[in-house]
A = this chain, B = another copy of it.
Amino acid sequence: MSASLELYAVGGLPMVQPGDDLARLLSDAFAVEGLVPRDGDVVVVAQKIVSKAEGRVVDVATVTPSAEAVQIGAEISKDPRLVEIVLGESRRVVRTRPNLLIVEHRLGMVMANAGVDQSNVAPEDGVHRALLLPVDPDASAERLRAALSETFGVRLAVIVSDSFGRAWRRGTVGVAIGSAGLPSLIDLRGKPDLFGRTLEVSIIGFADEIAAAASLLQGQAGEGRPVVLVRGLRWSAPEAPAAALIRPAEEDLFR
């Protein structure tokens, strides 16, 4: 367990474009900041720039909405083409309200609008674009982890982060939708407490806590600081991807 942590917002990134080598952009941005990654550092990267680099951009004008999308769009006053994009990224619709769908994303996350976002997407050439989540955020994290670790010659971990609304509580918090090189969950079951008694509630959403911490620096309102380096974390649990954070419905007591 660490005694202190440091988190650094990494500025100096250019606008990320489809096809960009994100690991290279990150390496350059670290250099601009004078940050030299060390063994065990965790690089938290906002989903948005991962998606942009991976070209997960849809020109909304090219989308033909299905009958279902047209119907839902009319019900919730949302552009049926955007509804179509959301449905295409989803297994099912959990709930709706005006301009918002809560869905189960194809990857299993329950989230607003399947993560389909129009904010901070440049309206180039007047084209109306929407941004989807990466195809496989754990794989995105692993690619970044491998490339950055090689570039810097150290053992790094990477989290692809997003902000989710929650059941029961107001406000979004940072969560990990992808991770590599660290345990997304840490299972302490069976470990003794201070008095040698077995702990009761003891599986920790480690990667989500790191993403939440990073979110404190990433900002939301146009601040454009999508990358945070977290230094000082220690862990001994085995690595597990962010997919392990998704709770199967049958074991979920909190709905």
- A5-B4 contact, Cβ under 8 Å, with A169-B175, A188-B220: no
User: Nearest Cβ in chain B — how far from A126, in angstroms?
Assistant: 12
Q: DSSP majority for the A interface?
A: loop
- A171-B191 contact, Cβ under 8 Å, with A3-B11, A95-B253: no
Q: Within 8 Å CB of A255, what residues of B?
A: 167-168, 255
Are B252 and A168 closer than 8 Å at their CB atoms? Answer: yes
- B3, B196, B208: the one within 8 Å of A9 (CB): B3
When chains A and B are docked, how far (Å) is the Cα of A175 from the Cα of B106? 28
When chains A and B are docked, how far (Å) is the Cα of A37 from the Cα of B217? 21
- Copies of the polypeptide in the assembly: 2
Q: Please count how many residues in chain A sit with their CB below 8 Å of the partner chain's CB atoms.
A: 83
Quick check: is A223 within 8 A (CB to CB) of the other chain? yes
Q: Within 8 Å CB of A169, what residues of B?
A: 175, 205, 208, 245-247
Interface residues of A (CB under 8 A from B): 1-9, 11, 94-95, 97, 100, 102, 109-110, 112-113, 117-123, 163, 165-175, 184-186, 188, 191-206, 208-210, 212-213, 215-217, 219-225, 232-233, 244-247, 252-255
Given A100-B253, A169-B205, 4 new contacts (CB under 8 A): A6-B7, A165-B253, A171-B208, A172-B205
